[in-house]
Amino acid sequence: MLSHERTCPRPEPADRPRGPRPGRIRRALGRIAAVAVLAAGAALLPPAPPAEAAVTLQRVTSFGANPGALNMYVYRPAGLPASPPVVLALHGCTQSAQIYADNSGLAKFADRHGFLLVFPETTTANNGNKCFNFFQPSDNRRGQGEAASIRQMVSHASSAYGADPQRAFVTGLSAGGAMTSVMLATYPEVFRAGAVVAGIPYACAGDVGAAFTCMNPGVDRTPAAWAQSVRDAHPGHTGPSPRVAVWHGDDDPTVVPRNATELRDQWTAVHGLGQSPDRTSTLTPGNTRREQYLAADGSVAVEVNRVPSIGHGTPVAPGSGPQQCGATGTANFIASICSSYWITGFFGLDGSSAPDPGGLPAPAGLRASGVTDSAVTLGWDAVDGAASYAVYRDGVRVATPAAPPFTDTGRTAGTAYTYTVAARDSAGAEGARSAGVTATTTGGTAATCWTASNYAHVQAGRATTTGGYTYAKGSNQNLGLYNTFVTHTLKESPAGYYVLADGGCP
């Protein structure tokens, strides 16, 4: 949801070589993006008071690395079970965590089914109209900016609240829906599934101008091209891809319905599926048209829900019935069907959707029993009935040993790796994964540092330039404008991987 402004400041050309002011340019881009990212719908509906029964949120002031400068709020239902799933819910432009919690209806189902809710929140310091910056390379890439902050919230939910990191999900509206696409593409090993509400495909927009075009009239690419954008977001990922649900109003004038089709093309191609639905149905109330695309095991890999006669917003159905939820007291929550009810089901949190893992329990006692410069040896307690085990390194399956111990070789010195293990039956079906253990290999070489202008870093091969901005090779951290006036220190460790080290470097 974006809100129209009478006038919009024009940012200076990104490569203009005088007096660069990255903070001012970022704020100007945010104000322009506010017009380009889901706020036209906000202008269509008058503001109104919030829902009467406000959801009680807890502010988390410290949740680890926060390069995107986001806020974190948590809704913890009473009687939350041990190791609950966690759902991240991303608000739209001009909204807040509290507004999304009060009106989306998700808290009702968190109470009913026992899952933790996390509400990331952006600020006007990040974006003039509080839109997640899904279109900025500094925020929509793995390991940096807002995307990295949201990923860190999952880790904090696990360490602070006992949430199950293997059952993490993400959903969001508008700019939050577009940021949901970002999280599914950049962290496919973290999120089991996601639901994009009135959003756009991943990598449709890389700057403000492209954001306008993606929203309306939309961008048409082949399924293969869309899928390649997702694969490029995390080239090393070889594990399963997240399941994806799409929700979109047929009369959305802000983010046109064409985006629902392009999202379908992107994620069906990621899953290796065709674009003709395997199953169609109609949901009530409102006659929402559902298309489902099935994986080889019969589970729903992708689904598209097209809601008739609504514009830009989250479909809700106020009331106390089992399939009712939400409130319409705030713009961009539209009376129709309770999308949160169906999204909860798609995530498998009501027990009706998504195949359960195999019957074997998670192995206990996972430990790093030996670590060298280039190898990590793992041990764990054997599981009765297990024919073999699946070992995962940083979310990617790397081996299927018959029994413990297992030694993971060929690792990089001085590097941290996180492992989990699942038991496999004689048919190869995996049970639940174990709790993770992190081991850091010994050794490693001292870091090398360079202090130079962005221009010099690019010329030396330590950074690249795109759209007038400079990005560190390896980490892809945004260094600011590509010119001779902006100076940074870069640290190289390991070889060919550079990170900002302005605060000091050994």
Which residues are annotated as catalytic? 174
Beta-carbon contacts of residue 21 (< 8 Å; ≥ 6 apart): none
Angle (deg, nearest 10), helices 175-186 and 145-161: 80
CB atoms within 10 A of CB 30: 23
Long-range contacts of 286-295 (CB under 8 A, 24+ apart): 286/315, 286/336, 286/337, 288/315, 288/336, 288/337, 291/264, 293/264, 293/268, 295/271
**Axis crossing angle, helix 106-113 with helix 339-346, rounded to the nearest 10:** 40
Asked whether the beta carbons of 262 and 246 are under 8 A apart, the reply is: no
Which residues neighbour 258 within 8 Å (Cβ) at sequence distance 6 or greater? 217, 218, 220
In angstroms, the CA 151 to CA 493 distance is 23
Neighbours of 136 (CB within 10 A): 24
Name 98's Cβ contacts closer than 8 Å, sequence gap at least 6. Answer: 50, 54, 55, 57, 73, 119
C-alpha to C-alpha distance for 144 and 488, rounded to whole angstroms: 17
Tokens of 221: 């690419």
Nearest-angstrom CA–CA distance, 192 and 254 = 29
Q: Which residues is 334 bridged to in the sheet?
A: 315
Residue 302: Cβ-neighbour burial (10 angstroms; 0-12, 13-18, 19+): buried
Tokens of 381: 């307690």
Size of the chain, expressed as the number of residues it contains? 506
3-state DSSP assignment of residue 425: coil
In angstroms, what CA-CA distances link 387 with 393, 403, 427, 429, 436? 20, 8, 9, 10, 21
Q: Distance between CA 266 and CA 398 in Å, rounded?
A: 26
How many C-beta neighbours within 10 Å does residue 12 have?
16
Give the containing element (helix H, strand E) for 229: helix 223-233
Q: Contact 423/361 with Cβ under 8 angstroms?
A: yes
